[in-house]
Amino acid sequence: MAIQIDEKKNLFTLHTKHSTYQMMVGPYGVLLHLYYGAKTEGEDFSYLLHPADHGFSGNPHDTKGDRTFSLDVLPQEYSSLGTGDYRTPCLRAVWPNGACAADFRFESYERIAGKPALPGLPALYENKPGEAETLKIVCKDRVSSLRLCLLYSVFEETDSIARSCFIQNDTDSIVYLDAAYSCCLDFLQGDYELMNFYGRHTGERSVERAPLRHGKFVAESTRGASSHQQNPFGILCAPHTGEEAGECYGVSLLYSGSFLLSAEKDQFGQIRLVAGIHPDGFRWRLKPGETFQTPEAVLCYSGQGLEKLSQCYHRLYRKNLCRGEYREKRRPILINNWEATYFDFDEKKLEEIAKTAAALGVEMLVVDDGWFGKRDSDTSGLGDWTVNTSKLHGGLPALCARVNDLGMKLGIWFEPEMVSEDSDFYRTHPDWLLHIPGRPGIRSRDQLVLDLSREEVVHALFKAISGILSCAPLEYVKWDMNRHLTDVWSAALSPDQQGEVAHRYVLGVYSLLERLLSAFPHVLFEGCAGGGGRFDAGMLYYTPQIWCSDNTDAIDRILIQYGTSFGYPISSVGSHVSACPNHQTGRCTPLKTRATVAMSGAFGYELDLSKLDEEEKKQIQKQIQFYRENSNTILGGDYYRLTNPENGAALAAWQFVSEDGAQSLVNVVFLRPQSNAPAQYIKPRGLDPFSRYCVKAEQEPPFVLSGSALMHAGIKLAPLMGEYPAVQLVLKRVE
């Protein structure tokens, strides 16, 4: 049983395969956190609490002189401002008289089979019945009928717990929520380090790891999207935790808007981790009878290093978050025309690209930006979702028919959330934007943001997009978002609801995607926001793959995909082979290297294939063949980061092991040319020590070794000459 309840001792214990999480209804009815870590019998951990009279840490009124009970010190399940706890509060409830306070005490609990969906929000779900069990704990404010309902869904097999909560206003007065986070994780002890994933446009998800100091570290986005700059995913780990050993805890937020992930070390060295919607500019008006549901946060624990933690998230998100026909199916290998043509194309050029690509084995053409309205540059046309027939004569039906005749599928680019001032859409609906009356709005890439907090805007977009998707058998949509939110004000909401706009915008995006997914269940959606500017677990619920970065340079991509792999499955990483020299960095890398990197994800090409010579075309044919043969291992297997490619490493190596363990793929890219170079040794992981594997690298004679020899003695790689050469080794279990 994943959930154990001891009513006598007031204990709630959640067990996953390798972890235990325990809380208790403590003195005075406060829900206290007791333990989260390696699996135990579920002993009573209340002995860990240390009641003491601490100076300057106050005591709630109902303790009646018990100076050893202070919420400023005790570990809690959900902290609230106004209880004498000076650490980060999860909830800030503001009453009409301006007072900010709520003090929640246990009221009831309920055990729910399975995993409830969350209204309007992405959420984990059960893939098979019996995979999850949920505990709902209801607490009530001491002096009012404001209720806090905490949800814990335990996914036993993947060592994860999905947490969220909703606030229910059962009072007869309005309450404003100035913050309502998804989860709080209090640790009584531990010298932890935090890993966060920061970056910029074309340089997303670099890994940073630092010990927590007294005070707070905050990874956040206030941009209205989860952002390139920080990712809503973090790992708290013990100092010596590495890939293969050590304790670590992941916190992953299923949310695509402004977020905050804060790690605080308090006066006693205790740690508090909170995650949720960013409170800056947030204020939710909760009328009597209304509830506010927070996004879900997924906690994962590994006592066996970062590798296991990532593998849990990968499996969970592949099977219990991503949806649709392509959830666990290999996605079509695509050719995207963006870096091949930018805005300069017509149907002839596209057909030429498709013809060459089809002959090489590519399965889908994606027509990127520029097929609609008046769109020859990024300064006009956004919002006008009608085909530009002076570029595409015969429109999408004719293009689709010709592409289908070549045996390929057709996909298309949209940027639904935006509008250009030079567009008919803007001229018709100048008031459908996020804008502050009387203030000139901020432009970014010459575009403005539509007010998706408004139902009529969402409805109009649904009509426009479904019109296009119904006019021809389109099978893929790339959903872009090329700027962040500013001027966050909606003409449709009252002054005291303006703090809701940014969150309602995200809910609008989710609702639009949900409607499109149910109207077009066969269409594969790929998320994108100037590359990986909205690469988060919330989007993965709607789009099982996301364009990982606008930076297609293979060497930079190694780092970006390395960082991404900590929290997100390989199947979710959109990755393409592009031209040489690379358009973002000017760097030249071998075609083989570009393919090796791009194949570690949802694979495709994005270059003018007609510029390639025959030898290169043959190579591409082989690459496609190779990807097809190995895609089960790559997309559905376990992922191993064999090296850390950052900080001047000599090589980058990563590995996949198929779910049944029968096959493995080791990819290596040499990052620094060296003269008189030593041999390099790579130690694969995740093999069966007692089985024997045939190891095959291109153009090398195969050899057979035991799993144990391969993992402990390693594979020798002779040094390769030239810049950034790559090697791919296929390991097949033979006995």
* Catalytically annotated residues: 536, 616
Question: Which residue type occupies 148?
Answer: L
Neighbours of 343 (CB within 10 A): 15
Q: Does 527 bind ligand GLA (CB under 6 A)?
A: no
Tell me how many degrees the CA angle 354-358-360 measures, rounded to the nearest 5: 125
513 burial (CB, 10 Å; 0-12 / 13-18 / 19+) is: buried
Min. distance of Cβ 348 from ligand GLA in angstroms?
Answer: 21
- From CA 680, how far away is CA 663, in angstroms rounded? 22
Cβ closest to ligand GLA, residue 156 vs residue 480: 480
Min. distance of Cβ 606 from ligand GLA in angstroms?
Answer: 8
Cβ closest to ligand GLA, residue 482 vs residue 680: 482
Q: How far is CA 109 from CA 12, 208, 218, in A?
A: 10, 39, 32
* Residue 722 DSSP class: S
Min. distance of Cβ 369 from ligand GLA in angstroms?
Answer: 3
The three-state secondary structure class of 431 is: coil
Dihedral sign, CA of 582, 588, 589, 590?
positive
**Of 549-578, which residues contact ligand GLA (CB under 6 A)?**
550
The three-state secondary structure class of 607 is: coil
Cβ closest to ligand GLA, residue 351 vs residue 378: 378
Cβ closest to ligand GLA, residue 168 vs residue 227: 227
Short-list 493, 401, 510, 387, CA closest to 458: 510
Q: Does 547 bind ligand GLA (CB under 6 A)?
A: yes
Q: Does 176 bind ligand GLA (CB under 6 A)?
A: no
- From 72, 264, 369, 475, residue interacting with ligand GLA (rule: CB under 6 A): 369
- From CA 533, how far away is CA 535, in angstroms rounded? 6
Q: How far is CA 426 from CA 67, 423, 516, in A?
A: 63, 5, 23
Position of minimal CB gap to ligand GLA = 369
Q: Does 528 bind ligand GLA (CB under 6 A)?
A: yes
Min. distance of Cβ 499 from ligand GLA in angstroms?
Answer: 30
Q: Does 125 bind ligand GLA (CB under 6 A)?
A: no
Min. distance of Cβ 532 from ligand GLA in angstroms?
Answer: 9
Cβ closest to ligand GLA, residue 310 vs residue 564: 564
Q: Which stretch binds ligand GLA (CB under 6 A): 250-258, 317-325, 523-531, 626-634?
A: 523-531
Q: Does 385 bind ligand GLA (CB under 6 A)?
A: no
Cβ closest to ligand GLA, residue 531 vs residue 567: 531
Short-list 477, 542, 547, 478, CA closest to 508: 542
Size of the site for ligand GLA (CB under 6 A): 12
**Of 441-500, which residues contact ligand GLA (CB under 6 A)?**
480, 482
Q: Which stretch binds ligand GLA (CB under 6 A): 124-132, 236-244, 310-318, 528-536?
A: 528-536
Cβ closest to ligand GLA, residue 179 vs residue 412: 412
Q: Which stretch binds ligand GLA (CB under 6 A): 67-75, 208-216, 524-532, 699-707?
A: 524-532
Residue 582 contacts residue 717 (beta carbons within 8 Å): no
Cβ closest to ligand GLA, residue 232 vs residue 370: 370
- From 224, 305, 381, 531, residue interacting with ligand GLA (rule: CB under 6 A): 531
Q: Does 199 bind ligand GLA (CB under 6 A)?
A: no
Q: Does 171 bind ligand GLA (CB under 6 A)?
A: no
Instruction: Quote the tokens at residue 420.
Output: 């250009």
**Helices marked H in 336-490 — which ranges?**
338-341, 347-360, 395-405, 424-428, 455-471
Q: Does 266 bind ligand GLA (CB under 6 A)?
A: no
* Site mask for ligand GLA (CB under 6 A), range 395-434, x = bound: ------------------x---------------------
Cβ closest to ligand GLA, residue 461 vs residue 548: 548
Instruction: Quote the tokens at residue 375.
Output: 């769109």
Dihedral sign, CA of 622, 628, 629, 631?
positive
- From 35, 301, 317, 338, residue interacting with ligand GLA (rule: CB under 6 A): 338
Question: Which residue type occupies 353?
Answer: I
Neighbours of 378 (CB within 10 A): 17
Min. distance of Cβ 609 from ligand GLA in angstroms?
Answer: 17
Tell me the pairing of strands 545-547 and 573-578.
Answer: parallel
* Residue 571 DSSP class: G
Neighbours of 547 (CB within 10 A): 30
Min. distance of Cβ 333 from ligand GLA in angstroms?
Answer: 17
Min. distance of Cβ 230 from ligand GLA in angstroms?
Answer: 19
* Residue 570 DSSP class: G
Tell me which H or E stretch contains 514.
Answer: helix 501-519
- From CA 86, how far away is CA 79, in angstroms rounded? 10
Min. distance of Cβ 336 from ligand GLA in angstroms?
Answer: 7
Min. distance of Cβ 338 from ligand GLA in angstroms?
Answer: 5
Q: Following DSSP, what letter does each residue of 276-332 receive, concatenated?
A: EE--TT--EEE-TT-EEEPPPEEEEEESBHHHHHHHHHHHHHHHHT--STTSSSPPP
Buried b (16+ CB within 10 A) or exposed e, 629-661: ebbbbbbbbbbbbbbebeeeeebbbbbbbbeee
- From CA 166, how far away is CA 356, in angstroms rounded? 54
Q: Does 311 bind ligand GLA (CB under 6 A)?
A: no
Min. distance of Cβ 195 from ligand GLA in angstroms?
Answer: 26
Q: Does 535 bind ligand GLA (CB under 6 A)?
A: no
Neighbours of 28 (CB within 10 A): 18
Q: Does 381 bind ligand GLA (CB under 6 A)?
A: no
Q: In angstroms, how far is the first alpha carbon of the chain from the final one?
A: 37
Dihedral sign, CA of 51, 57, 62, 64?
positive
- From CA 29, how far away is CA 108, in angstroms rounded? 11
- From 530, 544, 590, 637, residue interacting with ligand GLA (rule: CB under 6 A): 530
Tell me which H or E stretch contains 509.
Answer: helix 501-519
Min. distance of Cβ 339 from ligand GLA in angstroms?
Answer: 8
Cβ within 8 Å of residue 51, ≥6 positions away: 68, 69
- From CA 16, how far away is CA 162, in angstroms rounded? 12
Cβ closest to ligand GLA, residue 340 vs residue 457: 340
Min. distance of Cβ 481 from ligand GLA in angstroms?
Answer: 9
Tell me which H or E stretch contains 45.
Answer: none
- From CA 221, how far away is CA 227, in angstroms rounded? 6
Binding residues vs ligand GLA (CB under 6 A): 338, 368-369, 378, 413, 480, 482, 528, 530-531, 547, 550
